[in-house]
Amino acid sequence: MDISRRTFMEKTTTFCLKTGLSVIFLSTTSAQTFATSATAKEKKGGGVGLLFEPAYLKLHRTGELGERAETLWAAMENCELCPRSCGVNRLEGEEGFCHAPGTALIVSAFHPHFGEERPLVGDHGSGTVFLTHCNLRCVFCQNWEISHLGRGAEKSIDELAAIMLKLQDAGCHNINIVTPTHYSAHILKAVDRAAGAGLRLPIVYNTSGWERQEILEALDGVVDIYLPDFKYWESDMSAQYSSDAATYPEITRQAILEMHRQVGVAKPAYNGYMQRGVMIRHLVMPNDISGSEKIMEWIADNLPKDTYINIMAQYSPLFKAFEYPNLARRITREEYVRVVEKARDLGLENLDIQGYWWLR
């Protein structure tokens, strides 16, 4: 059964309160810097295999991770961290389309997340960090308070590194950074510092998929698991519902190919936990706004047949969706099943098919 991210955040809060787990909604909590070791986490059952080494460790050891972080940081002077290419000087505090406030990092929440894909959740949750603001700003956003309003609290790079370590210590199986694009420089700096303090979990780059090739190249060897959306096939749809992002389909296609080049097909390790690869998310939308069958065809033609695809059924008209008649309802069972059958007919064999019994 699928449940929205918002619902899971609420459930997780309740869970943490009931169990006494000390993790976090951190808009008001100051994270403490501390170090932990992979061995300690493994004893706790977090699930990192003994032979697993996250991609970023090699770059950390050579110093290249820090250098890449500085390169991305400098790119904020004339910001081109995402396809909007606003050109604003974030180093001087300017805001571009995403409204990320200069170089400040705003974190909304972090916690073990049990609503992500099963191989990411495992037994102890995906260590999810929700970052504020967004460069896409969809009219149907389910996290609009975070992405559009930017609700959260400012954190330093050291505090973000401490959050990663805290999630590792809580037994999470990965560090899952949600909406990372406009904070990519901050993330690399934090991973570099956390790696030096014992971080050993795979990094999940949980993105809209609308990523520039040049930025993805800077992430090569840093990110272990790419978790991109593939939202639209038609550019007039992405332009209409995602703030004039007409380039979304073409740029996302190229981005997913680059992600696949870097980390390949996502396959769980012996213990069932995902450690590396591309996991595509596709949200089926009403009235075929997302162009789902075309997207399945493209994946079948351009990526291995065992590419992991989460075909999501949870679309719900939130935020401004009711202002758009084609968006103002849930999908039907027929709409969802049609996409699944298309994917199967195409030979796609690694489908994450959610329970959809509740669809009418």
Residue of 160, 154, 186, 193 lying closest to 175 (CA atoms): 160
Residue of 288, 211, 205 lying closest to 252 (CA atoms): 211
Q: How many residues bind ligand SF4 (CB under 6 A)?
A: 14
> Which range in 17-25, 79-87, 279-287, 291-299 contacts ligand SF4 by CB under 6 A?
79-87
Pairing label, strands 225-228, 126-131? unpaired
Determine if 188 is a binding residue for ligand SF4 (CB under 6 A).
no
Determine if 209 is a binding residue for ligand SF4 (CB under 6 A).
no
> Which range in 4-12, 31-39, 56-64, 76-84 contacts ligand SF4 by CB under 6 A?
76-84
- Amino acid occupying residue 30: S
Minimum distance from residue 79 beta carbon to ligand SF4 (Å): 3
Crossing angle of helices 184-196 and 157-169, in 10° steps, is 60
> Which range in 80-88, 115-123, 170-178, 197-205 contacts ligand SF4 by CB under 6 A?
80-88
Among 14, 85, 213, 302, binds ligand SF4 (CB under 6 A): 85
- Residue 111-140 contact track with ligand SF4, rule CB under 6 A, x = bound: ------------------------x-----
CB atoms within 10 A of CB 32: 11
- Residue 33-72 contact track with ligand SF4, rule CB under 6 A, x = bound: ----------------------------------------
Among 86, 284, 295, 339, binds ligand SF4 (CB under 6 A): 86
Residue appearing with tokens 């100051």: 30
Q: Tell me how far CA of residue 132 lies from CA of 175, 231, 244, 348, in angstroms.
A: 16, 20, 20, 34
**Nearer Cβ to ligand SF4 (170/190):** 190
Torsion of CA 300, 215, 68, 90, to 10 degrees: -150
CB 310 within 8 A of CB 287: no
Determine if 202 is a binding residue for ligand SF4 (CB under 6 A).
no
Q: What strands, in cross-sheet order, belong to the sheet with 308-312? A: 153-155, 105-113, 126-131, 175-178, 203-207, 225-228, 277-283, 308-312, 351-353
- Residue of this chain nearest to ligand SF4 (CB atom): 96
Determine if 100 is a binding residue for ligand SF4 (CB under 6 A).
yes
Among 23, 88, 131, 309, binds ligand SF4 (CB under 6 A): 88
Residues 146-185 that bind ligand SF4 (CB under 6 A): 182
Chain residues binding ligand SF4 by CB under 6 A are: 79-82, 84-86, 88, 96-98, 100, 135, 182
